[in-house]
Amino acid sequence: MTSDRVLYSVTMSKPDYYEVLGVSKSASDAEIKSAYRDLARKFHPDVNSEPEAQAKFLEIQEAYDTLSDPEKRKLYDRVGHADFGGAQPASGVHVDFDIEDLGSMFDSFFGGGRGGGPFGARARTQTHRAPRPEPRPADTHHTIEVDFATAITGGKKELEIQRSGSTKKVEVTIPAGVSDGAKLRVRGVGHAHPNRPDQRADLILTVKVKPHPLFRRGEPARNERTRDVYLDLPITFAEAALGGPVDVPTPTGQATLTIPAGSASGNKLRLKGQGCRTSTPGDLYAVLQIVPPPKPAIDSEAERVLKDLGDATPIRRDGLWPSRASG
């Protein structure tokens, strides 16, 4: 007699917080803190330019925030990863097995056949397909535009999203130092589950940082730190030669820099702590750019002064390029 074959699905959830930090469930607070520090140093976006580094760092931070808090850790250990804080399983790796395999497992423990018992062949032929748990609603995706200063200092931004036929206002926390293209997750404010209105999807926001006419973020390709900010600072011949204080704009206001006498174009002057307001603050670098006066502004007297200055400070160019071979 042919028995019905019933397949069950087991969903393997994403690694739990202990696995994220690479520690055992009996790890001490010191071990958890040490593991977090090692991983944070490895995956922090300021030191790791890989595209997935930021998402990995946020996962590490989330795990540490939970396991370093005694009350949160106690609750997490009791309810498990899947039920803690609305955590979601990953994309869903499924392992299918046949109900007859379960029967074989019972036989191996209890021995003998099951034909006359309540779990025999008759029961197998009447077994129905077990219902799978309803999937969580798909994440809602949206783009959020952030001005340069907010990306540097962090802040709040209100966003209107369309969900389930209505408009919802959401206040989003922008972390200091967020980069263009970063993903932010706001839990439980997305579309509602079609069969469970009380359960909502998460909102995934892709950050778009508006470019600034004066400032730019540091670029790893230039061996620069992303938490630092750069500014091209125009100065005059006189300021470059004689030095002196100049006012400099910053992302949040204004500061004063002292230009050393004899400065050249390309020299960098640092304003400590005036970059991104991250846990380790970044710096602002003013890159000097000497701007010559326009020709109409140079009268005969200014021209004489410049020539005298040139005669007094000649530049030797010998050896800068090879001599042309005689013919």
Q: Rounded distance, CA 248 to CA 245, Å?
A: 10
Say whether both 205 and 219 belong to one domain. Answer: no
State which of 49, 79, 109 marks the end of a domain.
79
- Residue 325 reports pLDDT greater than 60: no
Considering only residues 258 and 85, tell me which one the structure prediction assigns the higher pLDDT: 258
End-to-end alpha carbon distance in the chain: 104
**Window from 154-158, 233-237, 280-284, 304-308 with minimum mean pLDDT:** 304-308
pLDDT grade, residue 229 (50/70/90)? very high
Give me the chain's average pLDDT, please: 78
- How many angstroms separate the Cα of 299 from the Cα of each of 160, 294, 295, 305? 59, 11, 8, 10
Say whether both 233 and 273 belong to one domain. Answer: yes
Say whether both 238 and 187 belong to one domain. Answer: no
Give domain status of residue 245, yes or no: yes
Q: In this structure, what are the phi and psi dihedrals at residue 224, rounded to the nearest 5 degrees? A: -115, 155
Say whether both 172 and 205 belong to one domain. Answer: yes
Number of domains into which the chain is organized: 3
Give domain status of residue 48, yes or no: yes
Give domain status of residue 107, yes or no: no
Q: Rounded distance, CA 181 to CA 226, Å?
A: 13
pLDDT digits (tens, 9 = 90+) for 265-317: 999 999 999 999 998 999 999 999 999 888 877 888 888 888 888 888 887 77
Give domain status of residue 320, yes or no: no
As a whole number, mean pLDDT of residues 190-214 equals 82
Pairing assessment for the beta strands 93-98 and 7-12 based on DSSP bridges: antiparallel
Q: Rounded distance, CA 251 to CA 273, Å?
A: 12
pLDDT grade, residue 92 (50/70/90)? very low
**Window from 39-53, 83-97, 167-181 with minimum mean pLDDT:** 83-97
- Residue 263 reports pLDDT greater than 90: yes
DSSP at 151: H
Long-range contacts of 218-226 (CB under 8 A, 24+ apart): 218/275, 218/282, 220/49, 221/49, 225/46, 225/282, 226/45, 226/46, 226/49, 226/177, 226/179, 226/276, 226/282
As a whole number, mean pLDDT of residues 145-167 equals 88
Say whether both 172 and 200 belong to one domain. Answer: yes
Say whether both 223 and 297 belong to one domain. Answer: yes
DSSP at 109: H
As a whole number, mean pLDDT of residues 176-182 equals 92
- pLDDT value at residue 25: 87
pLDDT grade, residue 83 (50/70/90)? low
State which of 62, 79, 96 marks the end of a domain.
79
Which range in 15-29, 157-171, 267-281, 299-313 is most confidently predicted, on average pLDDT? 267-281
Query: What range defines the domain where residue 307 resides?
Result: 215-312
As a whole number, mean pLDDT of residues 67-80 equals 85
- pLDDT value at residue 134: 59
Give domain status of residue 173, yes or no: yes
Pairing assessment for the beta strands 203-209 and 140-146 based on DSSP bridges: parallel
Say whether both 234 and 197 belong to one domain. Answer: no
- Residue 320 reports pLDDT greater than 80: no
pLDDT grade, residue 57 (50/70/90)? confident
This prediction has a pTM of: 0.54
Considering only residues 128 and 42, tell me which one the structure prediction assigns the higher pLDDT: 42
* CA 324 centroid distance within chain: 55
- pLDDT value at residue 94: 38
Give domain status of residue 191, yes or no: yes
Say whether both 186 and 265 belong to one domain. Answer: no
Give domain status of residue 37, yes or no: yes
pLDDT grade, residue 114 (50/70/90)? very low
pLDDT grade, residue 85 (50/70/90)? low
- pLDDT value at residue 90: 38
- pLDDT value at residue 132: 57
